[in-house]
């Protein structure tokens, strides 16, 4: 395995914590590691803000990237970008609502 051992261990621990099968990682092509890291960041930061449809998209792309060992297509990158932008908008709405409630309670 040519991967950085620290990065490998980090990914394995993350997969375990998320209850994702990690045994495939030893045969994972190094040139696709960036795609896997991108998907990891998306799941870590936005999973609970995603709709079920957006979660299904993430799962499909994850499966394609890890099991089929294929790079993320431009079309799927665009879809993931839209999902993240939508989740960011939800995050901003929650933040604004929280601010309104805080201001109302101070009065």
- pLDDT tens for 10-26 read 888 888 888 877 777 77
Q: Is residue 67 part of a domain?
A: yes
Domain that holds residue 86: 32-106
| Separation in Å, CA 26 to CA 2, 19, 29, 35, 94 | 9, 17, 9, 16, 40
- pLDDT less than 50: residues of the chain: 1-2
Q: Is residue 6 part of a domain?
A: no
Environment class of 58 (CB within 10 Å of its CB; exposed 0-12, middle 13-18, buried 19+): buried
pTM for this prediction: 0.76
pLDDT at 103: 76
Domain total of the chain: 1
């Amino acid at each position: 395995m040519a991967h950085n051992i620290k990065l490998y261990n980090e990914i394995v621990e993350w997969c375990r914590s998320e209850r994702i099968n990690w045994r495939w990682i030893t045969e994972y092509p190094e040139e696709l590691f960036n795609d896997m890291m991108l998907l990891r960041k998306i799941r870590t930061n936005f999973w609970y803000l995603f709709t079920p449809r957006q979660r299904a998209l993430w799962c499909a792309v994850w499966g394609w990237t890890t099991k089929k060992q294929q790079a993320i297509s431009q079309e799927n990158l665009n879809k993931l970008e839209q999902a993240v932008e939508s989740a960011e908008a939800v995050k901003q709405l929650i933040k604004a609502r929280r601010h309104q409630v805080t201001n109302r309670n101070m009065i």
